[in-house]
Structure 1
Amino acid sequence: MSFVIDFLLLAASGAACFYCWILSRRLRALTSTKAGIKTGIAALSRSTEDIQSAISESKRAAEVNAEQLSSLIDESDKKIPELESLLNQLSKVGVQAVNDTEAAVNKLVQVLSPHINEAKDSAAMLAESLNFDENDAAAPNSIRKSDNEAEVEATAPIKPKKDEEEVVFVNVNQESEIEGKVA
């Protein structure tokens, strides 16, 4: 029996040694993990501080930008009535320019109509005095009617002598366009 007790005692001491060996391994893993955890916690702490400083810096920059944007919005709100006034003035000036242009064209037509009619009559008298028939092949192109044209064109300029001023005839077709605008 003492032999059995010795064997049980030996088995219990072997089991205790095995249990101590397992605890030793776990304790070593825990201490190395503690160092790893400490390093990880320190890195996370530094990252948290960096993020907090970046957030506070971003908040300050956002506040500055918000103030600048607010001042720009206020300034643009003040400029809106001025721009509307300028737009109305430009619109009025545009309408006035159109009216003035139309009046000038009408006056020009009124002033030039008698001169154009006089030139037309003079051209007809000149053609008659030269005894050119409208279909005469010897007539200059400016007096002879072409087959497709219904009116006489008096567009050929007369070459002046050295001391005379240059004379330019107005196209008779243009005169009819001007008369059409008057009516």
Structure 2
Amino acid sequence: MDMIADILLVAGALGAGFYCYVLARRLTKFNDLENGVGGAVAVLSAQVDDLTRMLAAAQATASDSSESLTALTDRAEEAAHKLELLVASLHDLPTQAEPDEPEQKVVQPVFSRRMASGRDR
């Protein structure tokens, strides 16, 4: 009976050792930096860094554009205010009497007849 128990114990230990060996190989492949999840994590990390840099550049550009647009809007409001003042000042000008329209000459068309030659008579 002791011998059967020892054989089963050795078989169990060998089975556990083989199972650990298979798990170790799978874990190595899983963490492989070129093909496994480790590689995917490395690629994603690099992409996150790139996107962070691109986002910072986009935010800087948007900030510059916002400042430029604000300045242009202020200039447009000032110009609109000046135009409103100019239009308001036009109402204060006296109206001028329209000059009488000069008589227009009617040009009569000049017709001339040529003498028909002897052939056409």
Q: Which band: TM-score by shorter chain?
A: 0.5 to 0.7
Aligned to 2:119: none
The TM-score normalised by the length of structure 1 is: 0.47
Aligned to 2:22: 25
Aligned-residue offset at 1:82: 1.3
Within 5 Å, give how 1:75-94 maps onto structure 2.
75-90=75-90
Structure 2 gaps, min length 5? 102-121
Cα offsets for 1:76-115 (capped at 9, x unmatched): 122122110232245567x937xx45xx6xx89xxxxxxx
User: Is structure 2 residue 12 aligned with structure 1 residue 9?
Assistant: no
**Quick one: higher RCO (CA 8 Å, sep 6+), 1 or 2?**
1
Aligned counterparts of 2:71 and 2:81: Cα–Cα separation in 1: 17
Aligned counterparts of 2:58 and 2:69: Cα–Cα separation in 1: 16
The TM-score normalised by the length of structure 2 is: 0.68
Question: Rg larger in 1 or in 2?
Answer: 1
Within 5 Å, give how 1:1-183 maps onto structure 2.
4-35=1-32, 36-90=36-90, 96=95, 100=97
Cα offsets for 1:16-67 (capped at 9, x unmatched): 1111111111111111111123212211211111111111111110121012
Aligned to 1:149: none
Cα offsets for 1:129-179 (capped at 9, x unmatched): xxxxxxxxxxxxxxxxxxxxxxxxxxxxxxxxxxxxxxxxxxxxxxxxxxx
Structure 1 gaps, min length 5? 109-183
Query: Which amino acid letter does the alignment assign opposite residue 96 of structure 1?
Result: T
Matched residues, number = 98
Aligned to 2:117: none
Percent identity between the two aligned chains = 18
Query: RMSD between aligned alpha carbons?
Result: 2.4
Aligned counterparts of 1:14 and 1:81: Cα–Cα separation in 2: 96
